[in-house]
Every structure is written in structure tokens, then in C-alpha cells.
């Protein structure tokens, strides 16, 4: 059989299966069998016209026309058949119109065969990258602005920062290659040790305590409905939308040693005034209180959404079994909220490892004087910014950034690993 006749048979069969009755029979058979080979062996299918010819056409396509089955081209062709079959099945086109489109549209693709079945000028040249055709060009043009901005403001800074982390550079003179010296200076510095100790203490206290507070607020809001639920939700979420400088200003006033609200309340109970933001024993805990106040509303909204998705039937079954409210929270609410709690914990941990703005503002820091008294509120990002814009050591600052990035990746990967091990157990 000549190649042109095989091609004609293939298109004829494609047109045939787009008819409504044949599509219905194929769908019924394919839903009943797990493999097409079994469906083809079904007597009712074997008796269908053109089945034998279609098998011949497929064999010819595999043996003689391999480019049609390489790269992304088969996906294009299958898409053409599927789209035209859906048009015919929905009554948007007649079988004849669907068959005509099946014949015409492949000719517009790169690597098409000529009418006589011989290879055209582009036949056989179908690498995966060449699968894009003119109809996809507008789609790529639409995402081009995002790709350009993403490359300019995200990928390029990462690559250039990694490059400068191995150089001594002050943004004025030519970068001088120093190898791993920047990393060694940072890890061996006293400020780095102090910043990491503050960070560990801050994360260990802030993340679990903040989630516990947010969980309690979510349970409180969930116990109300209507006006009161909306009111509490808005009030608790308000600190989240406040700018960081405004939140820090509010708390600096509240922590003021002479006229601050906190010291005023302490004075009512006979306690002496405390300089919360200048006493090394209280500075870190004062920051933790501010951070929990700012972030609890966001975590509350996430947890509240998870609470709304827990089936009420589970609580009813627990009550019938005699479970108290606390037992319902322990045995129903927390297990059902496990995925949401994991998200909140992961997000909170990543955010806490990058803490910068609130301690910077609370201590009134600048690029040359930061961290508060005795560096009690010194954190890695603050130290990195001081090295970059205060000491003008951009190479060390870049190395600092990659050290912190590696720490975040390791901690996050560890959390996902523990979660995976627990789910398998």
C-alpha cells in the first residue's frame, strides 16, 4: 500500500471516530477495560469498519513516520483530534467538518507530510524545542514581561550575589577574588555568633508560642457567629495590616520607661519601672511580644479557615461518645488541622529566620549602629545590612545572605522530612 494511501486511511479513521455514535461506543468500551489492547480484542470492536485499516495506518506511522511520534508533536496531534471530536460530540460541527479540520490542521504544523504522503521540506525535523508554532506565540509574548522582570530582579541578583560572595567588593573598586575568606570571616566573627544565638532563642520561643496564641484566637472566633465573629476577626487581624514602622512606634510608646502604658499598669501593682528596650534581660522578650501581636492575626485567619472545613459530624460523634470540649480539640480539631498547622509552622519559621524590621525599628538602629544595647537584639539580616551599607563590604554581605539562605533551606527541608517520616509511620 502506498504511503499516500496510508495517510488517507489514517485521516479517514480519525474522521470516522469523531462521529457521535462511534465516540459513545469507544467511551463505553474504554471505561470498561484497562488497556486499549483488550478493547481492540473485543469482538464488537473488531467488527467495526475501518478497524483493520486503522491498525495498518498506526503500524505504518510507527515504522515509516517516526518524527510524528517524537518530541512534543504527538501531543499537538492528539490535541487536534480531541478538540475536533469534542466539537462534533457537542454538535458545534458536523462529522464532515470535523474530518476536514483533521486533514487541514496538521498541514499547518511544522514537519507535516505533503498530500502524497512524502516528507515535506520540514519533515523529520521535529525537536522538542521546535514544537511551538505560531498559534502559541501570543501566549509566550504575554508572559514575556513577567519573565523579563523575574530574570532582572530575582535571578540576576541571586547569580551576582553568589559571584560577589567570593570577592572583596565595595561597589566602587574592581572586585578582588578572595575565595572562601568572606564566609570564614563571617562565621568566625563575634557578631555572627551573637546574632545566631539571638535568632535561635527568638525562633524557639516565637514560633510555637505564636501558633498557640493564633490557635486560641481561631477557636474563640469560631465559637461565635454573625456580627461578633466578624468583629473579633477584624480586630485580631488589624495588627497584620499595620505598617511595621507604625507597629514599632506604638510599642515603643507602650514600653517607654516613664509614661508607657505597660509601666503604668505595672505601677498600679507596685512594680518599679522597667526600661524594656534598653535592658538586656527584657529586650528579646519585648520583641517576642511585639512579633506575636503582629503575626497572630494572620495565623488566626489561616487556622480559622481550616476549622471551618472540619466536618461537624466528627464533633457530634465525639459528643455522643462523651468527649469534653478539650478532648474534642485534642482528638478531633488538632488531627484534622495537621496540614494547616504544618503550613503555619513552616511559614512562621521561615519568617522568623528572616526577622529584621521590627527589632531594627524598636532599637532605632542605623547602618552604623544597630542591634541595641550589647547587641541584645542583633539578628543575621540586621548584621548583613550593616556590613553592606554601613561597612560597605558587599562581598561579606552577599556571603552572609547565602549562609542564611542555606540555613533556611536546611531547616525547611528538615521539617518536610520529619513530616514525611511521621506520615509513613
At 245-276, the pLDDT tens digits run 999 999 999 999 888 999 999 999 988 999 99
Position 375 confidence tier, pLDDT thresholds 50, 70, 90: very high
- In order of their start, the domains of the chain are 3-132 (no CATH), 183-424 (1.10.3720.10)
pLDDT of residue 225: 86
> Tens digit of pLDDT for each residue in 223-245?
888 889 899 999 999 999 999 99
pLDDT average, residue stretch 368-395: 94
The pTM of the full predicted model, rounded to 2 decimals, is: 0.68
Band of pLDDT at residue 171, cut at 50, 70 and 90? confident
User: Measured between alpha carbons, how far is 202 from 278 in angstroms, rounded to an integer?
Assistant: 17
pLDDT for res 293: 95
Residue 115 has a pLDDT of: 42
For residue range 341-371, what is the model confidence (pLDDT) as tens digits?
999 999 999 999 999 999 999 999 999 899 9
Residue 54: pLDDT above 60?
no
**Residue 19, pLDDT score:** 58
Amino acid at each position: 500500500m502506498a504511503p499516500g494511501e496510508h495517510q488517507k486511511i489514517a485521516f479517514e479513521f480519525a474522521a470516522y471516530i469523531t462521529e457521535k455514535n462511534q465516540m459513545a461506543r469507544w467511551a463505553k468500551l474504554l471505561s470498561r477495560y484497562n488497556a486499549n489492547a483488550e478493547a481492540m480484542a473485543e469482538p464488537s470492536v473488531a467488527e467495526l469498519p475501518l478497524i483493520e485499516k486503522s491498525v495498518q495506518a498506526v503500524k505504518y506511522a510507527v515504522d515509516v513516520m517516526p518524527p510524528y511520534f517524537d518530541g512534543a508533536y504527538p501531543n499537538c496531534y492528539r490535541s487536534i483530534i480531541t478538540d475536533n471530536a469534542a466539537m462534533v460530540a457537542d454538535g458545534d460541527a458536523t462529522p464532515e467538518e470535523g474530518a476536514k479540520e483533521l486533514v487541514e490542521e496538521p498541514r499547518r504544523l511544522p514537519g507535516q507530510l505533503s498530500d502524497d504522503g512524502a516528507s515535506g521540506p520540514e519533515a523529520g525535523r521535529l525537536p522538542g524545542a521546535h514544537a511551538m508554532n505560531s498559534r502559541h506565540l501570543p501566549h509566550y509574548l504575554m508572559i514575556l514581561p513577567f519573565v523579563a522582570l523575574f530574570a532582572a530582579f530575582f535571578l540576576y541578583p541571586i547569580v551576582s550575589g553568589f559571584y560577589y560572595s567570593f570577592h572583596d567588593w565595595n561597589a566602587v573598586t574592581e572586585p578582588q577574588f578572595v575565595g572562601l575568606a568572606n564566609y570564614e570571616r563571617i562565621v568566625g566573627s563575634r557578631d555572627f555568633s551573637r546574632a545566631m544565638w539571638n535568632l535561635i532563642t527568638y525562633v524557639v520561643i516565637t514560633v510555637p508560642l505564636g501558633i498557640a496564641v493564633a490557635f486560641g484566637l481561631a477557636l474563640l472566633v469560631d465559637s461565635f457567629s454573625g456580627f461578633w465573629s466578624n468583629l473579633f476577626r477584624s480586630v485580631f487581624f488589624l495588627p497584620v495590616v499595620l505598617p511595621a514602622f507604625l507597629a514599632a512606634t506604638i510599642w515603643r510608646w507602650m514600653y517607654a520607661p516613664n509614661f508607657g502604658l505597660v509601666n503604668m499598669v505595672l505601677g498600679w501593682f507596685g512594680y518599679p519601672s522597667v526600661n524594656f528596650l534598653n535592658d538586656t534581660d527584657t529586650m528579646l522578650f519585648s520583641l517576642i511580644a511585639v512579633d506575636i501581636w503582629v503575626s497572630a492575626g494572620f495565623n488566626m485567619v489561616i487556622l480559622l479557615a481550616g476549622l471551618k472545613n472540619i466536618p461537624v459530624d466528627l464533633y457530634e460523634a465525639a459528643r455522643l461518645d462523651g468527649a469534653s470540649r478539650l478532648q474534642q480539640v485534642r482528638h478531633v480539631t488538632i488531627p484534622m488541622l495537621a496540614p494547616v498547622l504544618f503550613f503555619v509552622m513552616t511559614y512562621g519559621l521561615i519568617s522568623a529566620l528572616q526577622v529584621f524590621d521590627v527589632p531594627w525599628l524598636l532599637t532605632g538602629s542605623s547602618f552604623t549602629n544597630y542591634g541595641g544595647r550589647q547587641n541584645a537584639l542583633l539578628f543575621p539580616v540586621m548584621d548583613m545590612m550593616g556590613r553592606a551599607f554601613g561597612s560597605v563590604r558587599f562581598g561579606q554581605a552577599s556571603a552572609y545572605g547565602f549562609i542564611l539562605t542555606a540555613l533556611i533551606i536546611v531547616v525547611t527541608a528538615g521539617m518536610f522530612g520529619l513530616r514525611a517520616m511521621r506520615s509513613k509511620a
